[in-house]
Amino acid sequence: MLASDPARRQLLLAAKLKGLVRGRWGDVVDAAAPGHFPSGAARHAATTAWVLAEDDPARSLGPALAWALRQGCDEVHLLAAGQASTLARRAAYFRVPVHVWRIDGTEVYPAEPSPVEPEPEAQPDAIAAVDLIAMIEQAGADVVVEHGVLRGEVRGLEVCRVVADPDGAPALQLGVGKHDREAHLLTHGDRRPTVEDLFAVVRSVLEHRVPGGEGHAAYHLAGERWLRSVVVRRPELVGAKALRTMPAAVARDDLRQPSPAPAAGEDLAGAPLVVVCSVGVDVDLVAAAADSRAADSRGARLLVCLPEGDDHRITGEVARALREPAEIVTAGTDWRSL
């Protein structure tokens, strides 16, 4: 790819946004100043912002709102190339008016918010997989059910999952992520994994998922889930009485991408609490966290938990922009040793 290609694409996206804004809002676009928005394009005039979410639109709400706040805008029009219904649902959590528009060719239309999908039953049936659940626990992994998938995790990292075999019966697949599971299948063929096989995977992950393990991939993957596993075991770190894992409102489809990890429970006074964990700087974190609070449906207080140093100022600004603001709590720099 030529070095000039990214710059040329930015120009094309800026032109696309300008055309879409002109088509819907008229000549106001001529007075709107352009701005840099990495996954699309942006413009603002006075206190109104228009943002085009072209790449990874599902994670564009937080970045768009953060960009608009930095420009001093108090109204945002988010023009989405996809996932507009999910974005419209999440936009309603904010007191700053965020209008989500669905792009259809050269036109934009108001997006209808979609409801949070109910959590499906585990497939295959968790009751039928009771022996495999006992095996996962015996090997030292945590049993986690999310979006219909029953997994075994070690410090938040998946090491196995329960799937249906050709006859529909529950079977265990070992591995960290899709490609590792496929490699295990190729290596072991039709032989069913034993508890010793699973323990070997658990032990390997435990060796590297420790402070100082930065040289191994197991250290870096799913850091937000590692942090969640810590606060679920040590709820007092975030002022909770008890916490349990809960699925995110939107399923994660890539182990390498950040995906805020929520937990639900009660605070020290017994009031409903949702804690959403993340590691690093994820500008879309607050929007995803608010979605988890809505999915919990108890009217819970919302905490966003980050390692010390990852609590970036813009995260706090977006958290305060919610209709029901979220609180930022930090887990300290030594959380990986807990």
The residue extents of the domains of the chain are 5-110, 130-208, 222-337
Q: Could you give phi then psi for residue 150, rounded to 5 degrees?
A: -100, 120
pLDDT more than 90, % of the chain: 85
Report whether 17 contacts 39 (CB < 8 A).
Answer: no
Measured between alpha carbons, how far is 84 from 60 in angstroms, rounded to an integer?
Answer: 10
Report the distance separating Cα 257 and Cα 36, nearest Å: 23
The CATH code for residues 222-337 is 3.40.1350
pTM: 0.94
State residue 16 phi and psi, 5-degree precision. Answer: -60, -45
Q: In what order do the strands lie in the sheet with 170-174?
A: 142-146, 149-154, 157-164, 170-174
Question: From CA 8, how far away is CA 190, in angstroms rounded?
Answer: 51
The answer to whether residues 276 and 289 touch, using CB atoms and an 8 Å cutoff, is yes
Residue with tokens 């919610």: 322
Q: Which of 48-62, 116-130, 160-174 is predicted least confidently?
A: 116-130
DSSP state at residue 40? E
CA distances 145 to 96, 137, 142, 242, Å, are 35, 14, 10, 18
For the stretch 240-291, pLDDT in tens is: 999 999 999 888 767 777 799 999 999 999 999 999 999 999 999 999 999 9
Residue 1 has pLDDT above 60, yes or no: no
Model confidence pLDDT, tens digit, residues 74-120: 999 999 999 999 999 999 999 999 999 999 999 999 999 999 888 88
| Bridge partners (DSSP) listed for residue 274 | 264, 302
**End-to-end CA separation in angstroms for the chain:** 45
Asked if 56 contacts 284 with a C-beta cutoff of 8 angstroms, the reply is: no
Q: Residues 198-239: pLDDT tens digits?
A: 999 999 999 999 999 999 999 999 999 999 999 999 999 999
Express each pLDDT in 24-33 by its tens digit: 999 999 999 9
145 strand-pairing partners:
150
Residues 6 or more apart in contact with residue 186 via CB below 8 angstroms: none
**pLDDT, position 3:** 44
CA distances from 127 to 16, 162, 169 (A): 52, 12, 11
pLDDT mean over 121-146: 92
pLDDT tens digits, 305-327: 999 999 999 999 999 999 999 99
Task: Tell me which residue has tokens 């996962």.
Answer: 136
The pLDDT assigned to 2 comes to 44
